[in-house]
Amino acid sequence: MRKVYSSPKTNLVHFAKSVLEANNIESVILREQLAGVVGGIAPLDAWPELWVHDAERLEEARQLLEASMAKSETLDKPWQCQGCGEKIEAQFTQCWKCDTEFGLSES
Ligand SMILES: [Zn+2]
């Protein structure tokens, strides 16, 4: 496995994984359990990491992420809670109302 992406924001890592999945690149998120300490921002040494299974697709994965991150302004906009429909500010990865985590329903 090769690390392809890391971010203090769990929702960005989840987004990155969904991009790779959409392109049939198998990936896994590591160290996610260490994140989300304060407002979803993990300390530098505990950032969740996205790893690809197939090292041969690492470069392809990197380019896909680079492209999608660049045009994905939506990540800095509020998201809607899957649990209760509340609008949540982009810096939070968890709903303040019902504790549903961003992207949880996908896993
Ligand atoms: Zn909610």
pLDDT tens, position by position, 85-98: 999 888 788 899 99
Helix axes 10-22, 58-71, angle to 10 degrees: 120
Higher pLDDT, 43 or 19: 19
pTM above 0.85, yes or no: no
Report CA(44)–ligand 1 centroid distance (Å): 27
Query: By percentage, how much of the chain surpasses pLDDT 90?
Result: 48
Mind spelling out the 3-state secondary structure of 12-67?
HHHHHHHHHHHCCCCEEEECHHHCCCECCECCHHHCCEEEECCHHHHHHHHHHHHH
Report CA(105)–ligand 1 centroid distance (Å): 12
Report CA(42)–ligand 1 centroid distance (Å): 21
pLDDT in tens, 1-31: 999 999 888 888 999 999 999 999 999 999 8
pLDDT reading at 72 higher than 70: no
Report CA(63)–ligand 1 centroid distance (Å): 33
Q: How many domains does the chain have?
A: 1
Ion ligand 1 neighbours (CB, 5 A) are: 81, 83-84, 86, 95, 97-98, 100
Structural domain of 97: 2-106
Instruction: Please state the rounded mean pLDDT for residues 42-51.
Output: 78
Report CA(67)–ligand 1 centroid distance (Å): 30
